[in-house]
Amino acid sequence: MTETHTTIDGHRVTALRVIVGNVGPWHAEVTCEDDAKGLTVGALVTLKAGALTLRGTLVSAGTFGLQLRGRVVGGAGGWGRPLTAQHYHNDAGVKARAVADDAARSVGETIGVFVPAAERIGPDYVRQIRSASGALEDVLGGVAWWVDYEGLTNAGPRAAVAVDASKYEVLAFDPKERIVTLGVDDPGAVQIGSILSERLDGPQTVRELELRITPEEMRVMAWCGGGDPLPGRLAGLVRTVVERVTDGRLWGRYRYRVLRMAGARVELQAVHRAEGLPDIIPVSLWPGVPGIHAELAPSAEVLVEFLDGRRNEPIVTGFVGPGGPGFAPVRLTLGGETGSGVARIGDTVDVLLPPAVFNGTIVIGGTPSPASGVFTFTMGKTLGTISTGSHIVGAAP
């Protein structure tokens, strides 16, 4: 294998280790020939290894024995940074690309190819205070994403391409761990999605790789297990632990305060900001009883939960009890759409009397009237007061 000239922003690199996963950004461990004055943590840098160019951000660095040692993350290194809470709403459906672009912009990343599972994710998306990558994965619907060597974030299926057998040499293969050790002259010859077949019992597709370059050798350790949308070995183990704890969903019920009604829906403000949830504008009411709808009072407290834990389906499912803020709604509709009003005991109401029929003699001033027989009177409306009602159903006075 031929020697490869490796640099970081023009500074000579004596040892380079690049790890590229099936999902997420690549990262590199760099050891420079000297202290590489001029390189600063947080700066965008360019790594060159032969014909291969990688653009990323120097996220940590220090010197030992007059040599700089640092870590570079692909792109802006921002997908691990936290985002503020935010609510997205669109009755026609929130676009997955809009949420992803917003997250990328907030952490300095740039999106290239973007092919999510669905263009729109539903009428709502509630972004909690969490990592930018978490928001990105929420809207991708299980589709893999990665940061390429140019520093762009891409999402969608990766192309599987067979590698010319003359570009690599199989040095070892562990069939149990599915790890192929390769000798290469071109550090970019083998990438994620490459199909290896030389000296192997069957074709193997690369899902994760580690590129090692030193003055003595250049090798690629390729892991060929897992499926197309799955993360690499280490990322997969970490994610399994995290998903056991959180599953990436929002379970439970969260306290919110009513700002105002928006038609049949309601605009809400989070009560406890420590939960990392945004205000939700607007959201539908699911009161748990058929045929009931409430026009809630401003400042009333309600409980919000998420259907099946999905962040794109918030609903109001609980209301404050007696004595709580906003217990009595402005209006309560029973039995369907708003129609006739309901009267309570003690209310003054208009009473429409039916026509009255009289059979006899009419007496006026104590003197019988010559008029007698059957008479019909139209009585019309009069005022009355509700005096009785059901003891089961009550209403506020």
Kindly report the average pLDDT of the chain as a whole number.
86
Rg, Å, the chain Cα set: 36
The whole-number average pLDDT for the span 88-106 is 96
- 68's tokens: 């700089």
Of residues 147, 123, 151, the one with CA closest to residue 133: 147
State pLDDT tens for residues 176-233. 889 999 999 999 999 999 999 988 888 999 999 999 999 888 999 999 987 655 555 5
What is the Cα–Cα distance from 86 to 102, expressed in whole angstroms? 10
- Of the given ranges (20-29, 170-179, 323-332, 366-375), which has the lowest mean pLDDT? 366-375
Contact 25, 75 (CB under 8 A): yes
pLDDT of residue 75: 96
Which of 91-105, 156-170, 176-190, 349-363 has the lowest average pLDDT?
349-363
Quickly state the pLDDT bin for 6 (edges 50, 70, 90). very high
* Distance (Å) of CA 249 to CA 50, 68, 143, 218, 376: 44, 41, 17, 42, 72
Spatial CB neighbours of 287, under 8 Å, sequence gap ≥ 6: 293, 294, 316, 317, 319
Q: How many CA atoms lie within 13 A of 42 on its CB side?
A: 1
Instruction: State percent of the chain over pLDDT 90.
Output: 56
Q: Is the pLDDT of residue 298 over 90?
A: yes
b/e for 176-191, b at 16 or more Cβ within 10 A? eebbbebebeebebbb
DSSP 114: E
Which CATH code, of 1.10.3470, 3.55.50, 3.40.5, 1.10.20, is assigned to 82-155?
3.55.50
> How do residues 69-84 score in pLDDT, each as one tens digit?
999 999 999 999 999 9
The DSSP secondary-structure symbol of 230 reads S
Alpha helices of the chain — where are they, by DSSP H? Answer: 96-106, 132-140, 233-245
Distances in whole angstroms, Cα of residue 298 to Cα of each of 257, 262, 286, 328, 356: 8, 12, 18, 11, 48
Of residues 110 and 291, more confidently modeled: 110
Q: Which whole number is the average pLDDT over 26-30?
A: 96
Rounded Cα–Cα distance for residues 196 and 173 (Å): 11
Query: What are the boundaries of each domain within the chain?
Result: 6-74, 82-155, 254-334, 348-384
157, 228 Cβ separation under 8 angstroms:
yes
Q: Give pLDDT tens digits for 235-253.
A: 444 444 434 434 567 888 8
Nearest to 211 by CA among 194, 236, 235: 194
Asked whether the predicted pLDDT for residue 397 surpasses 80, the reply is no
Q: What is the DSSP letter of 22?
A: S
* Nearest Cα residue to 134 out of 20, 281, 274, 24: 24
Q: Answer yes or no: are the C-beta atoms of 282 and 89 closer than 8 Å.
A: yes
The whole-number average pLDDT for the span 326-336 is 84
Mean pLDDT of 336-357: 74
Lowest mean pLDDT among 192-196, 292-296, 373-377: 373-377
Mean of pLDDT values over 57-63: 93
Percent of the chain at pLDDT exceeding 70: 84
Tell me the mean pLDDT in the region 309-326: 89
Greatest mean pLDDT range, 223-237, 270-284, 347-361:
270-284
pLDDT of residue 335: 75
Architecture of domain 254-334: Beta Barrel (2.40)
Matching residue, tokens 């940074």: 81
Distance CA(68)–CA(74), nearest Å, equals: 19
* Token representation of residue 213: 């370059």
- What's the pTM value of the predicted model, to 2 decimals? 0.73
Lowest mean pLDDT among 104-113, 183-192, 348-357: 348-357
For helices 96-106 and 132-140, angle between their N-to-C axes, nearest 10 degrees: 170
